[in-house]
């Protein structure tokens, strides 16, 4: 009998593992940055002197015991009606310890793989940024040879940024990295967490993705290319989409794989090239009619900014009339060495700034743009480009353009 694939699940926080809080500082659970297997967390918090059982549990700092905290928050869930729990009316959600028995809660995952679970950190994803991306990427790199695939549990608010970052930082990784989360906590009656996790493990261990691995987002029955994914809805289960790009797979009764996976792109065969340096001195600037950029943004270079993602109209246009200051401001900043990349404010369609004079002028002033790259990915790639001379904004490295 063939062995099951080995899958590593990294937990980084987000709604999936949250619990209702009581807005009291003495009840918060915080996680250390050190990775630790979740299965080895203490099962008996009363035996604090048992070093043999509690050695790994130094990752959990608490002023109240895990047992007391879990009991208190369970009562909060019990008091709420299913409708209240769905709406989150039982108290503000905070990072919790919902994943300490994840396999027990969702045993179906073990149908597909042998699982190891680790906590990297436990953050609301609103707080996740470049330092966290580097932490995740380095952990993936360190464990690359140990597992067949990886699952990353992540909050939804910045999931698209993290997905883009990992795809660009770990080009040629050679193993599926599937990022997922949920709109409701795992303990909520109508949670989407259970199916999202089962789908993620199912996709990550599927021969199709194992043959053509990449960084993906799995959410609400869709598998999406990570660096083409955007959060499109704040409260629907269908929270993510890849506008203008077909899903890699649709998960219904069967997994229906898209053409992109059945005819894999060349980047799937790229040599493994990890990059962990990011220059965060970048800015995302939307072009707004009538706005004077000298007033709104001033001298970016003088303030230490090295690059901007300039969000322009349509296929790549921006104001070029005599009364507009945009092109003059762009020329001033480019002359001072500011790197500029153009992205479209449109969710879908081509990005071809050379088509119109109002876009081609920006190109002549030194801006780069096209083919299309979503703003989230453009910001991350600009950070990477500023720190790695071998990365060029307009050259695709992980299927992020087009």
CA–CA gap between residue 394 and residue 375 (Å, rounded): 14
Q: Are 300 and 382 in contact (CB under 8 A)?
A: no
DSSP string, 252-288: SSSEEE-HHHHS--GGGGPPPEE-------EEEEE--
Which residue from 249, 253, 241 is spatially nearest to 348, judged by alpha carbons?
241
Burial status of residue 119 (CB atoms within 10 A of its CB: 0-12, 13-18, 19 or more): buried
Instruction: Give the DSSP H or E segment for 138.
Output: helix 130-142
CA dist 2 to 112, 199, 336, Å? 12, 21, 60
Q: Which are the contacts of 249, defined by CB distance < 8 A and separation ≥ 6?
A: 203, 208, 209, 222, 223, 255, 256, 257, 258, 261
Chain mean position to CA 212: 20
- 3-class SS at 298? coil
Of the residues 12, 135, 156, 158, which is catalytic? 156
* Rama region for 174: left / alpha / beta (φ>0; ψ in -120 to 50; rest): left
- 3-class SS at 294? helix
Tokens encoding 369: 């743009």
- Would you call 205 a catalytic residue per the annotation? no
Residue 220 assigned as binding residue: no
CA–CA gap between residue 228 and residue 401 (Å, rounded): 8
Residue 157 assigned as binding residue: yes
- 3-class SS at 116? strand
* Rama region for 220: left / alpha / beta (φ>0; ψ in -120 to 50; rest): left
How many angstroms separate the first and last alpha carbons of the chain?
43
Tokens encoding 339: 């790197």
Residue 156 assigned as binding residue: yes
> Residue positions in the annotated binding site for substrate?
125, 156-157
Among all residues, which ones are annotated catalytic?
156
């Amino acid at each position: 009998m063939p062995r099951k694939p080995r899958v590593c699940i990294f937990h980084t926080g987000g709604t999936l593992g949250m619990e209702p809080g009581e807005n009291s500082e003495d009840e918060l659970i915080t996680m250390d940055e050190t990775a630790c297997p979740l299965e080895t967390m203490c099962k008996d918090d009363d035996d604090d002197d048992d070093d043999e059982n509690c050695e790994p549990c130094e990752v959990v700092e608490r002023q109240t015991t895990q047992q007391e905290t879990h009991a208190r928050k369970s009562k909060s869930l019990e008091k709420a009606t299913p409708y209240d729990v769905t709406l989150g009316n039982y108290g503000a959600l905070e990072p919790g310890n919902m994943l300490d028995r994840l396999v027990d809660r969702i045993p179906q995952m073990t149908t597909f793989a042998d699982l190891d679970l680790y906590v990297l950190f436990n953050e609301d994803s609103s707080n996740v940024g470049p330092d966290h991306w580097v932490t995740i990427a380095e952990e993936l790199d360190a464990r690359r040879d140990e597992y067949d695939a990886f699952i990353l549990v992540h909050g939804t608010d910045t999931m698209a940024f993290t997905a883009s970052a990992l795809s660009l930082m770990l080009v040629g990784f050679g193993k599926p990295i599937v990022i997922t989360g949920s709109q409701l906590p795992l303990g909520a009656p109508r949670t989407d967490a259970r199916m999202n996790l089962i789908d993620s493990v199912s996709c990550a261990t599927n021969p199709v993705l194992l043959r053509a691995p990449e960084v993906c987002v799995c959410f609400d029955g869709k598998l999406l290319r990570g660096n083409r994914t955007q959060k499109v809805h704040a409260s629907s289960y269908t929270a993510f989409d890849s506008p203008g790009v077909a899903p890699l797979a649709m998960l219904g009764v069967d997994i229906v794989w898209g053409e992109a996976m059945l005819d894999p792109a060349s980047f799937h065969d790229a040599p493994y090239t990890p990059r962990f340096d990011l220059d965060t001195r970048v800015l995302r600037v939307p072009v707004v009619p009538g706005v004077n950029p000298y007033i709104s943004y001033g001298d970016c270079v003088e303030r230490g900014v090295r690059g901007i993602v300039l969000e322009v109209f349509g296929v790549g246009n921006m104001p070029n009339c005599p009364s507009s200051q945009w092109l003059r401001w762009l020329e001033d900043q480019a002359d001072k060495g500011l790197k500029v990349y153009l992205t479209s404010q449109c969710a879908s369609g081509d990005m071809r700034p050379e088509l119109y004079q109002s876009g081609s002028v920006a190109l002549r002033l030194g801006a780069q743009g096209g083919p299309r790259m979503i703003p989230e990915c453009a910001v991350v790639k600009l950070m990477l480009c500023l720190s790695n001379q071998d990365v060029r904004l307009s050259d695709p490295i992980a299927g992020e353009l087009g």
